[in-house]
Amino acid sequence: MKFKFLCSAILSIIIIFCNRDYAAVSALTDSKNTQTTDSKPDVNPMKLTLTTPWANTTVKLVVPGTAGPPLKKSTTVEVPAKSATYSSNFGQPRQMSLNILAITDPYTKRICIVAGPGPGFEKTYFYVSSSSGVLAYFVGPWLLIQSTSYVSMAAGGSVDAAIAQFEANFDGQKMKDLMVDAALNKKISLPTGGYFFTQEMPGPPGPGGAGGKIAVEAVDITDDSMFLDLRNMSAKLSATYSIDLKAKKVTRLVEDGQEMDLSAKPLPVPLKKN
Protein backbone atom coordinates (compact mmCIF):
# COMPACT_ATOMS: atom_id res chain seq x y z
CA MET A 1 0.00 0.00 0.00
CA LYS A 2 2.84 2.43 0.84
CA PHE A 3 4.48 1.68 -2.51
CA LYS A 4 1.24 2.33 -4.40
CA PHE A 5 0.71 5.59 -2.51
CA LEU A 6 4.27 6.75 -3.28
CA CYS A 7 3.82 5.99 -6.98
CA SER A 8 0.53 7.88 -7.13
CA ALA A 9 1.95 10.87 -5.24
CA ILE A 10 4.99 11.21 -7.48
CA LEU A 11 3.04 10.68 -10.67
CA SER A 12 0.54 13.35 -9.67
CA ILE A 13 3.41 15.83 -9.96
CA ILE A 14 4.18 14.57 -13.47
CA ILE A 15 0.53 14.99 -14.42
CA ILE A 16 0.48 18.61 -13.24
CA PHE A 17 3.46 19.47 -15.41
CA CYS A 18 2.58 17.37 -18.43
CA ASN A 19 -1.07 18.47 -18.47
CA ARG A 20 -2.22 14.86 -18.15
CA ASP A 21 -5.40 13.37 -16.66
CA TYR A 22 -4.93 12.50 -12.96
CA ALA A 23 -7.49 9.73 -12.73
CA ALA A 24 -6.07 7.95 -15.77
CA VAL A 25 -2.46 7.95 -14.57
CA SER A 26 -3.38 7.02 -11.00
CA ALA A 27 -5.11 3.99 -12.49
CA LEU A 28 -1.95 3.18 -14.46
CA THR A 29 0.13 3.15 -11.27
CA ASP A 30 -2.38 1.06 -9.34
CA SER A 31 -2.69 -1.46 -12.15
CA LYS A 32 1.10 -1.83 -12.37
CA ASN A 33 1.57 -2.47 -8.65
CA THR A 34 -1.49 -4.62 -7.92
CA GLN A 35 -1.13 -8.35 -8.41
CA THR A 36 -4.18 -10.37 -9.45
CA THR A 37 -4.71 -14.09 -9.74
CA ASP A 38 -6.44 -13.90 -13.11
CA SER A 39 -5.14 -11.79 -15.99
CA LYS A 40 -7.86 -10.09 -18.00
CA PRO A 41 -7.31 -8.04 -21.16
CA ASP A 42 -7.90 -4.28 -21.03
CA VAL A 43 -11.45 -3.23 -21.77
CA ASN A 44 -10.20 -0.49 -24.10
CA PRO A 45 -7.30 -0.86 -26.52
CA MET A 46 -4.29 1.39 -25.95
CA LYS A 47 -4.95 3.65 -28.90
CA LEU A 48 -2.84 6.68 -29.83
CA THR A 49 -4.67 9.64 -31.37
CA LEU A 50 -3.14 12.89 -32.63
CA THR A 51 -5.17 15.72 -31.07
CA THR A 52 -2.91 18.75 -31.78
CA PRO A 53 -1.03 18.58 -35.12
CA TRP A 54 2.72 18.88 -35.31
CA ALA A 55 3.92 22.50 -35.37
CA ASN A 56 7.32 24.18 -35.49
CA THR A 57 8.86 25.45 -32.25
CA THR A 58 12.26 25.87 -30.58
CA VAL A 59 13.76 24.43 -27.38
CA LYS A 60 16.88 25.08 -25.32
CA LEU A 61 19.32 22.18 -25.49
CA VAL A 62 22.07 21.80 -22.88
CA VAL A 63 25.32 20.37 -24.26
CA PRO A 64 27.31 18.92 -21.34
CA GLY A 65 30.93 19.84 -20.82
CA THR A 66 33.86 18.01 -19.25
CA ALA A 67 36.68 18.94 -16.90
CA GLY A 68 38.99 17.24 -19.38
CA PRO A 69 41.55 17.05 -20.45
CA PRO A 70 40.82 18.77 -22.70
CA LEU A 71 38.49 21.17 -20.91
CA LYS A 72 35.09 21.63 -22.58
CA LYS A 73 32.56 24.08 -21.19
CA SER A 74 28.86 23.29 -20.95
CA THR A 75 26.77 25.32 -23.36
CA THR A 76 23.07 25.93 -23.95
CA VAL A 77 21.79 26.47 -27.49
CA GLU A 78 18.39 27.05 -29.01
CA VAL A 79 17.48 24.40 -31.57
CA PRO A 80 14.49 23.93 -33.88
CA ALA A 81 11.93 21.31 -32.89
CA LYS A 82 8.38 20.19 -33.55
CA SER A 83 5.63 19.78 -30.97
CA ALA A 84 2.35 17.87 -30.92
CA THR A 85 -0.19 16.46 -28.50
CA TYR A 86 -1.55 12.92 -28.60
CA SER A 87 -4.10 11.18 -26.42
CA SER A 88 -4.30 7.58 -25.31
CA ASN A 89 -6.51 5.69 -22.89
CA PHE A 90 -3.70 3.26 -21.91
CA GLY A 91 -6.33 0.60 -21.46
CA GLN A 92 -8.28 2.78 -19.02
CA PRO A 93 -11.80 4.26 -19.35
CA ARG A 94 -10.53 7.83 -19.63
CA GLN A 95 -8.11 9.57 -21.98
CA MET A 96 -4.85 11.30 -21.03
CA SER A 97 -2.74 13.73 -23.02
CA LEU A 98 0.83 13.10 -24.20
CA ASN A 99 2.76 16.25 -25.06
CA ILE A 100 5.54 15.27 -27.45
CA LEU A 101 8.57 16.99 -29.01
CA ALA A 102 10.67 15.98 -32.00
CA ILE A 103 14.20 17.38 -31.56
CA THR A 104 17.13 17.17 -33.95
CA ASP A 105 20.33 17.24 -31.91
CA PRO A 106 22.90 19.19 -33.98
CA TYR A 107 25.77 17.64 -32.01
CA THR A 108 24.97 13.92 -32.10
CA LYS A 109 22.88 14.28 -35.30
CA ARG A 110 20.23 12.09 -33.70
CA ILE A 111 16.53 12.80 -34.22
CA CYS A 112 14.68 12.19 -30.97
CA ILE A 113 11.06 11.98 -29.87
CA VAL A 114 10.80 13.06 -26.21
CA ALA A 115 8.30 14.21 -23.59
CA GLY A 116 7.18 17.80 -24.02
CA PRO A 117 5.64 20.39 -21.68
CA GLY A 118 1.94 21.06 -21.36
CA PRO A 119 0.72 24.57 -22.23
CA GLY A 120 2.13 27.15 -19.82
CA PHE A 121 4.91 24.91 -18.47
CA GLU A 122 7.58 25.46 -21.11
CA LYS A 123 9.91 27.14 -18.56
CA THR A 124 9.88 24.13 -16.24
CA TYR A 125 11.49 21.87 -18.87
CA PHE A 126 14.99 21.62 -20.28
CA TYR A 127 16.68 19.16 -22.61
CA VAL A 128 20.15 17.63 -22.57
CA SER A 129 22.21 16.30 -25.47
CA SER A 130 23.28 12.68 -25.04
CA SER A 131 24.96 10.14 -27.30
CA SER A 132 22.05 7.73 -26.78
CA GLY A 133 19.33 10.32 -27.32
CA VAL A 134 18.03 13.62 -25.96
CA LEU A 135 17.13 13.57 -22.25
CA ALA A 136 14.08 15.53 -21.05
CA TYR A 137 14.13 17.06 -17.55
CA PHE A 138 11.32 18.84 -15.79
CA VAL A 139 11.09 20.54 -12.43
CA GLY A 140 8.16 19.69 -10.18
CA PRO A 141 7.57 20.68 -6.56
CA TRP A 142 10.64 19.38 -4.69
CA LEU A 143 11.61 17.10 -7.60
CA LEU A 144 13.71 17.02 -10.74
CA ILE A 145 12.63 14.17 -13.03
CA GLN A 146 14.45 12.83 -16.08
CA SER A 147 12.94 10.88 -18.96
CA THR A 148 14.69 9.27 -21.92
CA SER A 149 13.83 9.57 -25.61
CA TYR A 150 10.89 7.51 -26.84
CA VAL A 151 12.60 7.31 -30.24
CA SER A 152 16.28 7.99 -30.98
CA MET A 153 17.03 7.79 -34.69
CA ALA A 154 20.64 7.84 -35.87
CA ALA A 155 22.02 10.38 -38.32
CA GLY A 156 20.64 10.04 -41.83
CA GLY A 157 17.01 9.83 -40.81
CA SER A 158 14.36 12.53 -40.92
CA VAL A 159 11.95 14.13 -38.45
CA ASP A 160 8.99 12.72 -40.38
CA ALA A 161 10.53 9.24 -40.24
CA ALA A 162 11.08 9.52 -36.48
CA ILE A 163 7.47 10.64 -35.95
CA ALA A 164 6.21 7.77 -38.11
CA GLN A 165 8.32 5.32 -36.09
CA PHE A 166 6.91 6.69 -32.81
CA GLU A 167 3.34 6.29 -34.03
CA ALA A 168 3.87 2.86 -35.59
CA ASN A 169 5.73 1.39 -32.62
CA PHE A 170 3.69 3.01 -29.84
CA ASP A 171 3.16 0.54 -27.02
CA GLY A 172 0.88 1.67 -24.21
CA GLN A 173 2.33 -0.78 -21.71
CA LYS A 174 5.90 0.34 -22.42
CA MET A 175 4.82 3.98 -22.08
CA LYS A 176 3.25 3.19 -18.70
CA ASP A 177 6.46 1.48 -17.62
CA LEU A 178 8.59 4.44 -18.76
CA MET A 179 6.43 6.88 -16.78
CA VAL A 180 6.62 4.82 -13.60
CA ASP A 181 10.37 4.24 -14.05
CA ALA A 182 10.97 7.99 -14.45
CA ALA A 183 8.89 8.78 -11.36
CA LEU A 184 10.54 6.18 -9.15
CA ASN A 185 14.10 5.70 -10.44
CA LYS A 186 15.08 8.86 -12.30
CA LYS A 187 14.05 11.51 -9.83
CA ILE A 188 16.22 13.80 -7.72
CA SER A 189 14.81 15.44 -4.60
CA LEU A 190 15.11 19.24 -4.50
CA PRO A 191 15.10 20.26 -0.83
CA THR A 192 14.17 23.77 0.22
CA GLY A 193 14.22 25.47 3.58
CA GLY A 194 11.60 28.08 2.79
CA TYR A 195 8.58 28.65 0.62
CA PHE A 196 10.19 28.35 -2.80
CA PHE A 197 7.85 25.64 -4.09
CA THR A 198 4.82 26.29 -1.86
CA GLN A 199 4.60 30.00 -2.67
CA GLU A 200 2.34 30.00 -5.75
CA MET A 201 2.56 26.28 -6.49
CA PRO A 202 2.81 25.52 -10.24
CA GLY A 203 -0.49 24.58 -11.82
CA PRO A 204 -2.48 25.05 -15.02
CA PRO A 205 -2.37 28.71 -16.06
CA GLY A 206 -5.47 30.52 -14.84
CA PRO A 207 -6.89 34.04 -14.72
CA GLY A 208 -4.06 36.51 -14.33
CA GLY A 209 -1.45 33.82 -14.95
CA ALA A 210 -1.89 32.14 -11.58
CA GLY A 211 -0.04 28.95 -12.48
CA GLY A 212 3.27 27.79 -13.94
CA LYS A 213 5.46 30.19 -11.94
CA ILE A 214 8.62 28.09 -11.55
CA ALA A 215 11.19 28.82 -14.27
CA VAL A 216 14.52 27.20 -15.14
CA GLU A 217 16.92 30.15 -15.40
CA ALA A 218 20.19 28.33 -16.19
CA VAL A 219 21.65 24.83 -16.43
CA ASP A 220 25.31 23.82 -16.52
CA ILE A 221 26.43 20.19 -16.73
CA THR A 222 30.07 19.17 -16.41
CA ASP A 223 30.74 15.44 -16.32
CA ASP A 224 28.44 14.12 -13.53
CA SER A 225 27.77 17.50 -11.92
CA MET A 226 24.77 19.73 -12.64
CA PHE A 227 24.28 23.37 -11.70
CA LEU A 228 20.56 24.21 -11.73
CA ASP A 229 19.32 27.78 -11.23
CA LEU A 230 15.57 28.12 -10.58
CA ARG A 231 13.31 31.10 -9.98
CA ASN A 232 9.83 31.42 -8.55
CA MET A 233 8.53 34.15 -10.83
CA SER A 234 5.57 35.18 -8.68
CA ALA A 235 7.28 35.21 -5.26
CA LYS A 236 10.54 36.60 -6.68
CA LEU A 237 12.56 33.85 -4.98
CA SER A 238 15.62 32.02 -6.30
CA ALA A 239 17.09 28.59 -5.62
CA THR A 240 20.41 27.37 -6.98
CA TYR A 241 21.27 23.68 -6.73
CA SER A 242 24.52 21.79 -7.20
CA ILE A 243 23.64 18.19 -8.03
CA ASP A 244 25.65 14.97 -8.20
CA LEU A 245 23.95 13.25 -11.15
CA LYS A 246 25.61 9.90 -10.47
CA ALA A 247 24.42 9.80 -6.84
CA LYS A 248 21.14 11.57 -7.72
CA LYS A 249 21.69 13.93 -4.80
CA VAL A 250 21.82 17.68 -4.14
CA THR A 251 25.22 18.61 -2.69
CA ARG A 252 24.72 22.38 -2.28
CA LEU A 253 21.76 24.74 -2.09
CA VAL A 254 21.73 28.53 -2.16
CA GLU A 255 18.21 29.76 -1.49
CA ASP A 256 17.44 33.42 -2.14
CA GLY A 257 21.14 34.28 -1.74
CA GLN A 258 21.61 32.29 1.48
CA GLU A 259 23.65 29.07 1.55
CA MET A 260 21.68 26.34 3.30
CA ASP A 261 22.71 23.53 5.63
CA LEU A 262 21.47 20.38 3.89
CA SER A 263 22.21 18.19 6.92
CA ALA A 264 19.59 19.98 9.05
CA LYS A 265 16.36 18.09 9.76
CA PRO A 266 13.58 18.09 8.80
CA LEU A 267 14.35 20.97 6.40
CA PRO A 268 17.52 22.82 5.37
CA VAL A 269 18.34 25.92 7.42
CA PRO A 270 20.71 28.84 6.74
CA LEU A 271 24.33 28.00 7.47
CA LYS A 272 25.69 29.69 10.57
CA LYS A 273 28.48 32.13 9.89
CA ASN A 274 31.65 31.72 11.92
Say what the pLDDT of residue 55 is: 96
Angle between helices 172-185 and 22-33 (to 10 degrees): 90
Residues pairing with 135 in the sheet: 128
Q: Is 192 helix (H, G, I), strand (E, B) or coil?
A: coil
Pick out the chain residues at pLDDT < 70.
Answer: 1-46, 90-93, 199-212, 273-274
Angle between helices 2-18 and 22-33 (to 10 degrees): 150
**243-255 tens-digit pLDDT:** 999 999 999 999 9
Computed on alpha carbons and rounded to an integer, the radius of gyration of the chain in Å comes to 19
Which residues, 6+ apart, have CB-to-CB distance to 247 below 8 Å?
none
Please state the separation of Cα 250 from the chain's center in Å: 17
Task: Give residue limits of the domains in the chain.
Answer: 2-37+45-270
Say what the pLDDT of residue 184 is: 86
**87-104 tens-digit pLDDT:** 987 656 677 889 999 999
Among the listed residues 88, 105, 101, the one whose alpha carbon sits nearest the alpha carbon of residue 55? 101
Find the largest Cα–Cα distance for the chain: 65
Say what the pLDDT of residue 145 is: 94
Report the 10 Å Cβ neighbour count for 200: 17
Q: How far is residue 260's CA from residue 192's CA, in Å, rounded to a whole number?
A: 9
Say what the pLDDT of residue 196 is: 86
Say what the pLDDT of residue 13 is: 44
